[in-house]
Amino acid sequence: MKSTLFLILGLLGTCSCSTGFNRDIDKFISKHGEEDFSQFVGTSISYRDSDFGTDIFIVAKQGGNHPPYVVGINKSTKQITTIDDKFLRQSNHVPYFNHEQIRKFMKRFLDFDAQLLSVDKDSNVFIRPFYAEYSPILLRLNTKAGDTVIRKGIVYNLYRGNWYLSAAK
């Protein structure tokens, strides 16, 4: 009897989390579903860490072997505190973004309140709106494919419109 009660409570907890998750996804898509991500084509931005009142982000060019820029953002003011190109210098890589481009990327990226945003050369948007993990959970195809399953590094299932949700969530 006791184990049955725990099983029922566990299932109810799982259902409510899934419903809350879907509600969060719906809210994000409703807010940013038609967003113009064109300024990010070929760019990837992701949250990495927090250190003494500063959030640390990685900004990189997509495709090829491009070392990232490390960007510090003051948590309370949302202002850039540092743009570090040490990884480019360490590998003798030519700078591919200037500081003004990175400032523009970050200013716009912070509007999404997301953890990860990557836009490929075909303008497909990969995004992780919440939960600081490494893989994107949402994919917005640039054009409607009509497919219910898309494989772009990971498997995405059609969620609604041209938005797909990671099968792994």
pLDDT digits (tens, 9 = 90+) for 156-168: 999 999 999 998 8
Distance, CA of 109 to CA of 167 (rounded, Å): 25
User: pLDDT exceeding 90 applies to what percent of the chain?
Assistant: 60
Task: Give the pLDDT confidence of 131-149 residue by residue, as tens digits.
Answer: 766 688 999 999 877 788 8
For the chain, the structural domain boundaries read 35-117
Q: Residue 72: helix, strand or coil by DSSP?
A: strand
pLDDT of 68: 97
pLDDT of 78: 92
Q: Residue 162: helix, strand or coil by DSSP?
A: coil
The stretches in the chain having pLDDT less than 50 are 1-17
Q: Look at strands 116-119 and 163-166 and give their pairing.
A: unpaired
